[in-house]
Amino acid sequence: MWFRALRPYRLPSRLGIDAEELERRLQSRTFSACTPAQASSLGWVPALDDAASALVHRAGPYWMVRLKREEKLLPATVVREQANERCAQIAEAQGRKISRRERLAVTDEVTQDLLPRAFSRSSTIRAIIADQAGWIWIDSSSSGRSEEVLSHLREALGNLPAVLPESQKAPAHMMTQWLMQGGIPEAIELGDEADFANQREEGSSVKVRGVPLDSEEVLAHLASGHQVEKLALEWDARVAAVVDRDLSLRRLKFSDTIREANDELVEDPLARADADFLILCEILVGLQTDLIKAFGGIAE
């Protein structure tokens, strides 16, 4: 339930539907396991837990959905090796060279032959739609996987005006200034790691781990032209994360006090997940609000 990453997207306008209508639209795109000849499959599954039934879980003004992906594990080296063997057999039997087009066709045949015997790997990604607040939060640091979730939502909705947020002040510049000059917002504390990129020398980067970020070592990197790309922060003594220059969060860690708030519901997993979900949403609203404010607000 607890997000491990956060990729935020702005909703410039309301979706214009309620949770019940979203549920109805997702029903036509539920997950089905891969067929023997299918390389991958995507679809919606119950949002709260596999034991639940609703594809859209609602708590107050927040909706949660969950996209499942199944993919066959078929190493390219295995396909290439068998395709080469088949091509060699054809070339020897017919006494001629194999054209590029024929080789591609053989590779496709090999892939289809191997797929039924391939192992499968499944994963799910949750997304929270805060329609009233104007946000979609996806539990992933990967832009590709996040866009995959948005794409499937867009197919169900017909239109989804979700965009990456842009702040008034560049996060990389502001985080660099915090280390050099201070002025960190009151609710935010520095962690002990950061990634820097040299603005004067392309491709030059430095990673600092377990070092005070106000140390001479860090200040020397900044003085030499490096700028913060990622910065470990702690918000309100409740959430720790690594903030990326694109405003996404990695390695989210919630305090024990938060994670244990609903321990009395341990015997009812669905009730526990529902209660944890509402806490998660309320925390994400506060965290998102303070981070955006720290970078000067949303650029209109």
Looking up tokens 């190493």, which residue turns up? Answer: 75
Q: Is residue 55 part of a domain?
A: no
DSSP code of 254? Answer: E
Q: How large is the average pLDDT for residues 75-98?
A: 86
Number of domains in the chain: 2
Facing residues of 42 across strands? 69
Q: How large is the average pLDDT for residues 248-276?
A: 90
Q: Is residue 38 part of a domain?
A: no
pLDDT in tens, 7-45: 999 998 888 899 999 999 999 999 999 988 888 999 999
Q: What percent of the chain has pLDDT over 70?
A: 98
Q: Is residue 207 part of a domain?
A: yes
54, two tokens: 């609703």
Q: How large is the average pLDDT for residues 253-279?
A: 89
96 and 196 co-located in one domain = no
Whether 138 has a pLDDT exceeding 90, the answer reads: yes
177 and 255 co-located in one domain = yes
pLDDT value of position 201: 67
Domain of 95?
76-116
Whether 234 has a pLDDT exceeding 90, the answer reads: yes
pLDDT in tens, 147-186: 999 999 999 988 888 999 999 999 999 999 998 888 888 8
Whether 200 has a pLDDT exceeding 80, the answer reads: no
pLDDT value of position 250: 94
What is the pTM for the complete model shown?
A: 0.86
The residues, any chain, with a CB within 8 Å of residue 22's CB and separated by 6 or more, are 15, 56, 63, 65, 129, 156, 157
Q: Is residue 288 part of a domain?
A: yes
Q: Is residue 276 part of a domain?
A: yes
CB-neighbour burial class of residue 212 (10 A; exposed 0-12, middle 13-18, buried 19+): exposed
Q: In this structure, are strands 62-73 and 135-138 parallel, antiparallel, or unpaired? A: unpaired
Which of 5-9, 50-54, 97-101, 141-145: highest mean pLDDT? 5-9
Q: Is residue 3 part of a domain?
A: no
The residues, any chain, with a CB within 8 Å of residue 101's CB and separated by 6 or more, are none
Average model confidence (pLDDT) across the chain: 90
The residues, any chain, with a CB within 8 Å of residue 16's CB and separated by 6 or more, are none
CB-neighbour burial class of residue 38 (10 A; exposed 0-12, middle 13-18, buried 19+): middle
Q: Is residue 282 part of a domain?
A: yes
Looking up tokens 């091509």, which residue turns up? Answer: 87
